[in-house]
Amino acid sequence: MNPGARPAGEATEAAAAEHVREIFDSIAPKYDLLNHLLSMGLDRRWWGRAARSFREVLARPDARVLDICCGTGDMTSALLKERPAGGAAVTGLDFSAEMLDRARVKYESANAVWVKGDAMHLPYADGSFDLVTSAFGFRNLTNYAEGLAEIYRVLAPGGRIGILECNQPEGLSGFGYGIYFQRVLPVLGGLISGDRAAYGYLPESVARFPRPKQMLKMMAEAGFVESAWDGYLLRAAGLYRGMKALG
């Protein structure tokens, strides 16, 4: 079986995707609050840091930029901060209407286009973008190899991929992280959101997600070159970067 998200052990990719969408629709009202709280405010720094890694592309006024799994729009907004005045809009795409509605309200005056769509079947022609990003969204896809292939397809030759994701560190920091992530976070998240199952899915989805070595191998298999991973905060998260070969 291809690795991908499987909430509550769903048997098929279609059922798993529907379940993921339901989880995000249901936690959308409390998502921002919980995100900032449970990450202890680090999420904001990480979105900014990831966006700055693509300054070169983002500085080009005509750069075509897509942020998939954009949720309530914070990564999209971080990308916009690196855009020049008068530059082309950034597209934020998500399949949860509830998450996307919040992005539209929060960033009403931003130079962004919000699109309801499935990251596994992007509604764009081959070679449409110069940069495709995802923050804490990619690990929710139900087939990682196909998710990477879809990003590769919509990138133009020389286009960049940026995937900011959680990681499971090893050693002593991994032990502390494991306790927080497996024990504290699901309880806190469940209490505040009123949805214990949704916050049980979070550590589960991180545990299933490939470690950097395996993810970089999958990126190479999808055709990406110059791929690398930068670990953030004792490797608790990190940014995967790569490029679609020039041709």
Ligand X SMILES: C[S@@+](CC[C@H](N)C(=O)[O-])C[C@H]1O[C@@H](n2cnc3c(N)ncnc32)[C@H](O)[C@@H]1O
Chain contacts with ligand X (rule: CB under 6 A)? 17, 20-21, 24, 35, 69-71, 74-75, 94-96, 99, 118-120, 135-137, 140-141
- Return d(Cα 62, Cα 209) in angstroms, integer: 34
The residue assigned the tokens 């990619």 is 138
Residue placing its CB nearer to ligand X in the complex, 18 or 86: 18
Residue placing its CB nearer to ligand X in the complex, 94 or 130: 94
Take residue 90 and report the two structure tokens written for it: 């950034």
Take residue 179 and report the two structure tokens written for it: 């306790």
CB of 74 to ligand X, least distance (A): 5
CB of 157 to ligand X, least distance (A): 24
Residue placing its CB nearer to ligand X in the complex, 35 or 167: 35
Residue placing its CB nearer to ligand X in the complex, 97 or 187: 97
CB of 79 to ligand X, least distance (A): 11
- Return d(Cα 154, Cα 161) in angstroms, integer: 11
CB of 70 to ligand X, least distance (A): 5
Cβ(77)–Cβ(52) under 8 Å? no
Residue placing its CB nearer to ligand X in the complex, 18 or 212: 18
CB of 159 to ligand X, least distance (A): 19
In this chain, which residue has its C-beta nearest to ligand X? 71
* Residues written for the chain: 247
Q: How many CB atoms lie within 10 A of CB 225?
A: 12
Residue placing its CB nearer to ligand X in the complex, 140 or 160: 140
Take residue 99 and report the two structure tokens written for it: 């998450």
SS3 readout for 17-33: HHHHHHHHHHHHHHHHH
Take residue 65 and report the two structure tokens written for it: 């930029």
- Return d(Cα 174, Cα 234) in angstroms, integer: 9
Q: Which amino acid is at 163?
A: I
Q: Is the dihedral of CA 80, 84, 87, 88 positive or negative?
A: negative
CB of 120 to ligand X, least distance (A): 5
